[in-house]
Each structure stands twice: as C-alpha cells, then as structure tokens.
Chain A
Amino acid sequence: MKSGKLIGLIVVCVFMISISFSFTADAKEFKFGQILAMTGSGSWYGMTMERGTGIAIEEINAAGGVKGYNFSYVVEDHKSGLTTPAQNAFRKLTSIDKVSAILSSFSAPTLSIMSMAEQKKIIVFNGGASSPKLMNIPFLHNTRMLGDEILPFTLKYLWDKGYRTMATIYANQTAPISLNDAGKKYWESLGGKVVSEQMHETGATDFTSEASVIKAKNPDIILCPSTGLDVGYVIKAVRKMGIKAPICGTEHSGDMEKVTGDASEGYLFASEFFDVNSDDPWTKTFVAAFKKKFNEDPDFYAANYYELTYILKELVTRVVDKGGDPYDGSLLEKAIWDNPKFKSIYGGYMKFKENGTCEKPVVLFEIKGGKPMVIKKRSG
C-alpha cells in the first residue's frame, strides 16, 4: 500500500502543479465551458452543438470580440449522458479554466452539476434536453421549450383532421415520460382515446415487436415523444410493419433521418422553429457560414448553441458595461433579467421565463420529400 499510494500521490501532485501553471485564464479572454456528448451513442449531438458554438465564436472574434474580450470555449465530454464525467468536467472547467458560464446538454449530466453550479454561482444554459425536471433550478436556463408546451399544438392539428384513437410509444426517460403523460392528458381532454401505451428501453434499436402490438390495436395516430435515434428506429419499425397511421413526436435530427431513410415521410413534429430558408438576415448569414464550413444545413441544435453563444455575448456586454467582471456568474445571471428578451437566430426574439424555460416560436413540421416542411406556425 505505502508504495502504491505514494506513487499515486506523486503522480497527482506533479500533474496538478504542472497544469495549474500552464492553464490560467487570459485576462483578455472570455472563456466558457461546454459539457456535451462527445462520445458514446449521442456523440452526434455533441458534434453538431459544438459546430454551432464554433461558428458563433469565429464570428464574434472576427468582429473584434466583446468589449475587449476575445471569446473562447473549452469542450468537455459527458459521454452521452454519464454523470460522473459531467461532474469531473464541471470541476475542471470551474477551477482550471475558471469559467463562469457553461453550456450543457442532456438532462442527467445537467442535473448532476446543478448543486455545484448553484453553490459556485455558475450560470448554466441547456439547449438540448427538454426534461421538466430541468425547470425551476437556480442558475439553469433552458433555451428549448418544454415538450409539454409544444405537444398540444401537434395533437390539436391531428384531432382537427379527424383522428380519434392514439397509440403511444416512448422511452423510459424523464422527458419522454412526462411528454407521454401530457400528450395523453391532452388527447383525452379533446375526447380522444389512447388505445395503447408502451414504454421502451432508451437506446433500443429493434421496435418491431412494439410495432406489432400497435398494429394489432390499429390506432389512428401514433405518438412517439422519445429522443435521439430512438424515434428514428420507432418510425422505421412502424412503417416496416406496414402501419400507415401518421406518427408524431417532438424530435427531429439529420442523424435520425439516416436511420429512417424514406420511412420518415409524413412524420409530424412540433418544435422550436428554426428555418434554414428564413429571410431573416441573421439566420441567412449563419446558415451560409455553416454550409460553407460543414457542407450541410445546420439543424436546430446547432442553431441553439450558436444562439446561446450570442446570448452569452450579450450578457458579457451588459456586465462589462456596468463595470462588472464577466467571470462572475451571478452578474451574468442578473444581467438576464435586465431584459429577458434576446435576439433569436430563429428570427425575431426569444424570451427567458422565470421558471427556467423560454419562449420561442413553435412550428409544426411534416417530413415531405425527405425534408421538414412547415405546415403550421405559432409565434413565440
């Protein structure tokens, strides 16, 4: 033991000392942290989110930074939803990189750092997860609307088209579970009937037996509020079983399209409206920059993190204008409430709400010809 622990301790100390010298924040730099899914099953999300942030930073720095501060970020990996790596990342970001703001994603990793964030007054933004558990937590702000607020929009549309029975299939995660409850309640309040409810394992890929059950119940519509690739596999399985009923949900991504292929045709989902073909000049420059760099259209996750970077820029501006230090997270937090309306990449403005969520324009999409097409809009 003696030898083992000694060697271990020496290793730790040497390495800690060496890094503490080499990694102190530059005074003229505003550095913030990101804790994203860089590896594991959700690594596609991490990639697209980081792309959004990266483009924003390039633009901001090209324009001379903010009040003399150059922007930069450090990305850490929560390995697609693991909490210990998220906590390690938090400790590293706050004590080595000395950040005061963190962009995070996924609900479990985000939740796992919030006790510490509150204590250390670090402002945390989540632009990915949409779990109701993320509401009403000090220092946490979500720039995604909660699905519960979005889902009725879709369901009403389908109700009006004359569909009456619904089957649901959703992942055993907090957000899908609450979405399923909300969707079910709303559908029943309209007078509809839920003929089958199935909860599935997160990350499963074979849903044909679940689809068989749905087929046997012959519902008018299918609700799948799962996230990630799960939705893609569900859609694929449902179509594979020859079920023609419309499928609706809350999630859509380019990666998911690769799973479904043609099967996603007709899939309906309501979401914050990010329109790549928008006439809004800001949106246009972002889409063009993204396309130039990555040779594909940005999705709304990229847009969310791009937007978040600009929100941070605005907050830093407000703090510095008042003579404050942007490395004080509580100042950033206060600065939000100076004016909770921020310019949005979605066009127009978005507004932070007291409960930690936000208001954004919502839109109902349908996949037509492999692309999401807007069929109904609701402004933020």
Chain B
Amino acid sequence: MEYLAHTLNLAFIFVILTVSLNLILGYGGMASMAHAAFFCIGGYISAIVTMNLGCNFLIGVLTAIIATAAVGGALSAPFIKVQEEYLILFTIAFQMVVYHLMLSLYNITGGDSGIFGVPAASLFGYTADTPARFLPFMAAFLFIVYYVAFKITKSPFGRVLKGIREDEKAVSSLGKNVIKFKVIIFMVGTGIAAGAGGVFAHYTRFISPTIGSLDQSILIIAMVVLGGTANLGGSALGAFLLIIIPEVLNFLPGASDLIVPLRGFIYGALLIFFMRFRPEGLIPEYFHLRSRKRTLPGARTGKQPADDCLHFSMTSEEKMFNRTGPILEVKNLSKSFGGLRAVDNFFMSLDKGKITALVGPNGCGKTTAFNLVTGFLKPDKGQIHFAGKEITNLPAYKMPHIGIARSWQDIRIFQGMTVMDNLLLARQSQAGESVIRLFIMPWRVRREEEENIKKAFFYLSSMGLAEKGSEIARNLSYAEQKLLAIARLLATEAEILLLDEPSSGVDPNWVKQFMQIIRGLAASGKTICIVEHNLDLVRGVSDTVYFMAEGQKIAQGTAEQLMADPKLGEIYFGV
C-alpha cells in the first residue's frame, strides 16, 4: 500500500537523520540545533545540481554530501570550543539564518514555494516514481548510512569519541587532537544529513525551506533523545515512534477542528511523559539485550601475568633515547594567572632512567609547572627541551606522540568504557582513527587493532589486570582503577612519564606495590617525574627531589637531605 510505503520512506529518512545527528550529539557530544538546516541545504544542492546539469540523482546527492560537509567543517571549527549551552544557541542562530536566507534568496531557492519538479531518482533505467518503487533506494541508503555509522562508532575513531565524551582532557593527554575528532564527526553527521536531504528531494520531487525550519531540527533532536543518545538502535526507534505516533493520531475519529490541536496536545504530552519517566531515552547507551564479552587473546590462552612483568622491552623508537643524562630540560619557565605568579623562573631537568619528585606546600606551583611541561598550559616565558629539541609550545595532544605522557591525580580513566578500550585508546598513531583510512584500508585497521590488543594485553598483565580486560572500568575497585591508569599511561609507550599525585586516595599497601612498579619502570629505562604529597612515596622512590615554594625551586637534593633541612620544614608545614 502506498501510504505504508510512504510512511516507511519517511521513517527511513528520519532514521537516517537521527542516526547522523546521533553521531554528532550522542557520540560527538555536541548538541546541534541546525540539523534540519543541513538537511534542507543538501536537498537544495542536489535539486539545483540535477535540474541544472541534468545529471543523475546520485551525482546530485554526492555533491550535496561533499559541499555540506565542507560547510559543516568550516562552521564547526570555531564553535566546537564553546560550552554546551552556547553550542545550542550558536546552532539555533545558524539554523535561523539559513532558514531566512532560503526564504529570501528566492531567485535560487524559489522562496517559500520552493523548487517544484525535482527529477525522480533513477538508476539503470529503474525509475523510483512511487513510494513503493523508492523503497529499495531508501533502504539501500539507510543501509549504507547505518553501516558507516556503525563502523565509525565501533572503530578506534568511535573509541576516541567515546573517550572525548567521558573526559576531553584525558583524551588529549593520550595524544588525540580532540578538536579534530569533533570537527570530523560533525562533518560526517552533516554530510549524511545533506545526503538525506538530497534523497528526500528526489523522493518527494519537491524541496522548500519548510523542511529546514527550527521545528524540524527540534523534532530530530527529540527523536534522538527520546530513543537514547549514543545508541544507533535508539535513534531508529525514536524516529519511528515520532513519525508513527502523529500518523496514528491522524486516525483518531472526531471533528477535525478539534482533533488537529488535540493531536498536538497528545504529542506534547507524550514528550513530557517520556522525558519525565525515561530521561536517558528508551534505549540508553549501555543497553544490551545480551551481554557480550570481547575475548582477549590472552584470556583465550589463559596466560597468567608474567612474574617479570616490570621488565619492559624496548621498541626501536625508544632506543633512540637510549642514552644517559638529562632528557627533559626546563629553563626559566614562568606563568602568571592574573596577578599571581604561579610559576616563576622555574628550572628542572629530568635524567634518563631516574625518578624525580616535585614537592612543596599546597599552592606552591607544582601542578602548574606540571601542566606547563605537559602542554596543558602555555608558559608566559621559558623553554622546554626534550632530547635536545625545543617543545615549548607544543599542544598537549602532541606530547604523548613524541614520548611524554602524563597521568592525573583524579585518575581520569574512562569509567564507562571497558578496561581494554581504556588501553587501546592510549595507543598512538592508529590508522583506525582516521575515518577515511577506516574505509579504504580496513585490513590495515584490523591488523593494527590486533597488534594493539596484544600490546594492551601485555600492559594489563603487567599490572595484574589481565582478567579484567572486558570489564567496564567503573566496576573495578579504586585500587584497580589506579593500576589501570598506570597501564594506560604505559600503553602510550612514552619515554617520559609524569605522574600527578599517584598515591592520592589509596591505602599504604597499594603505595608499596606502586613504589615497586615505578622503580621497575625506571630500571627499564623510563624517565619519571612525580608530583606527590605522600612523603613515604617520595622518600621511597625518588632519586632527586625538587622542593618548590611560591612558584620557584628553592632546593634540590635527595629526600633525606631535604627533610633534614629545618628551613624547608618551616615552609612545608606553615607558620
């Protein structure tokens, strides 16, 4: 039946739209209120291209996808940095500007009456001029979109996105350019929306600005949120429901001047109802009908963590740094916040294979110095050299790549991800983190992934977490989470490890275990710097201690030397 076919086509279009918005909203964590605008732009581009050039609809749709994705990319670059509520506002503004432009540029868009007589979709002599005949096209398009979305979200790229949603800073500390990932997913999402617009224009053979209004954008968002963000199945369900419910309401008997607003009332009331009782969506992100477990290579063989787990093999890359003496040198480093000189003319050098500790009273600038070295803050003045090369203004996400990685005081593991994913996210230069390579060289992505899983498993084993690989990180005990954080840090295979208060929040036994671990790491050639309050730990592991106060290094020596100095005691324990 034609109406059924039409409703299905419509539902499919909206499934495509919700899936693409879900990539942006659910997976990318960006609330875009302009999705319908991109949808409409795509429709116009495809309609205009095919009508003026007389080419096949596929060319029109492709043009729409590419052009709109480019616009989306250019647009998203500046706004991705702003906060969520401003993002909503910014995209509303964009949505309204586009909508009004489409109405006002009537020479191009036909104004309010739109463009009539868009050519029907046809391929190899098959012309899709009825809803039923269009269904195969729509289903194929939906399949492609779903495949792409599925592939992306389940890929290393999707893993990074998930990480970004959990903790942006932690992701950049693992060497990923957060902005780049967000821009790309935004481009993919808008591109798909534009493609949907193109397909829709050829399906209805008509395009007008009304399908690109704010109401439509809100409707699409409602579908995604109703279904469940970051769950592709949820998007599909949300789209189906919100397309079907109004259509079902169409069949309510009664006088039409009453029934039409009544429909609106019921629709609004349902929205309130769903949000009130299922705010996380009908199918939330971690909804699984069956629990599935990833089998890990190690788990299959039942291999136990090696006893010599603290001896790490060196890759060829690391051998480059296989020399003694200072490897990281900090000179003259200064940073002020407002009037406060948080770090003032700070000098430090880290020796290869040695453990250095930064201590000092609260507010002495340790953490600021730490953030300066790891690229999370830009120094006002001073230089940082790593293995002879200046890296002073390198952004944080490039640090792990060259061999400097940090940990966080509040561990910042990705609580909602599996232990294994936490580690895989830390691996550098993965082909699967590029959307293009994901599709053009899947074999390479697969091979790398296998390699990375092996490596990750090695580091997990080294922390005694081999059995936990498929657990969700938040289900681990706190001590295990801390170990996981270290394993993740090691998985970056960075040469220099900077640890921010590694002992906070754990018991003395753990600290003992931890001391053993970092001594082992140093012995294997890693260079380590810790910021620490637990003086037991400082005493236990550090080769050199820097004592900081008011942003400056005021003493340097072994832990025993410094603690014997009454003057330092005065500073440390206050007046």
Chain A residues with a Cβ under 8 A of chain B? 1-5, 7-9, 11-12, 15-16, 19-20, 23, 38-39, 43, 46-47, 50, 75-77, 81-84, 87-88, 91-92, 94-96, 107-108, 111-112, 114-116, 119, 131, 133, 137, 172-174, 177, 199, 201-202
A11 to chain B: closest residue by CB: B244
Q: Min CB distance, A54 to chain B, in Å? A: 9
A7 vs B116: C-alpha distance in the bound complex, in angstroms? 36
Q: Min CB distance, A12 to chain B, in Å? A: 6
23 contacts between A and B (CB under 8 A): A3-B237, A3-B283, A4-B227, A4-B235, A5-B15, A5-B233, A8-B237, A8-B240, A12-B240, A15-B244, A16-B7, A38-B257, A43-B260, A75-B260, A82-B210, A87-B6, A91-B3, A91-B6, A95-B1, A108-B208, A112-B204, A112-B206, A201-B103
Establish whether residues B2 and A111, one from each chain, have CB atoms under 8 Å apart when the complex forms. no
Known: A5-B236, A39-B264, A92-B3. A108 touches B244 (CB 8 A): no
Establish whether residues B232 and A8, one from each chain, have CB atoms under 8 Å apart when the complex forms. no
Name the 3 nearest CB pairs between A and B, nearest first.
A4-B233, A8-B240, A1-B233
A90 to chain B: closest residue by CB: B6
Interface: B362 (CB within 8 A): no
**A111 CB contact (under 8 Å) in B3, B7, B113, B261:** B113
A12 vs B2: C-alpha distance in the bound complex, in angstroms? 14
Establish whether residues A2 and B233, one from each chain, have CB atoms under 8 Å apart when the complex forms. yes
Establish whether residues B8 and A12, one from each chain, have CB atoms under 8 Å apart when the complex forms. yes
**A16 CB contact (under 8 Å) in B1, B15, B206, B283:** B1
Establish whether residues A83 and B3, one from each chain, have CB atoms under 8 Å apart when the complex forms. no
B227 to chain A: closest residue by CB: A4
Interface: B363 (CB within 8 A): no
Known: A15-B244, A107-B112. A119 touches B106 (CB 8 A): no
A107 vs B151: C-alpha distance in the bound complex, in angstroms? 43
**B114 CB contact (under 8 Å) in A111, A116, A172:** A111
- The B533-553 residues at the A interface (CB cut-off 8 A) are none
Most B-side CB within 10 Å, residue of A75, A112, A133, A137:
A112
Known: A20-B1, A172-B112. A4 touches B283 (CB 8 A): yes
Q: Min CB distance, A8 to chain B, in Å? A: 3
**A115 CB contact (under 8 Å) in B113, B205, B256:** B205
**B208 CB contact (under 8 Å) in A8, A83, A95, A137:** A83
Q: Min CB distance, A228 to chain B, in Å? A: 12
Known: A107-B112, A174-B111, A177-B111. A115 touches B206 (CB 8 A): yes
Establish whether residues B237 and A172, one from each chain, have CB atoms under 8 Å apart when the complex forms. no
Establish whether residues B116 and A39, one from each chain, have CB atoms under 8 Å apart when the complex forms. no
Q: Min CB distance, A56 to chain B, in Å? A: 15
Interface: B394 (CB within 8 A): no
Chain B residues near A172 (CB-CB < 8 A): 103-104, 106, 111-112
Establish whether residues B256 and A81, one from each chain, have CB atoms under 8 Å apart when the complex forms. no
A202 to chain B: closest residue by CB: B112
A124 vs B146: C-alpha distance in the bound complex, in angstroms? 38
Chain B residues near A116 (CB-CB < 8 A): 204-205
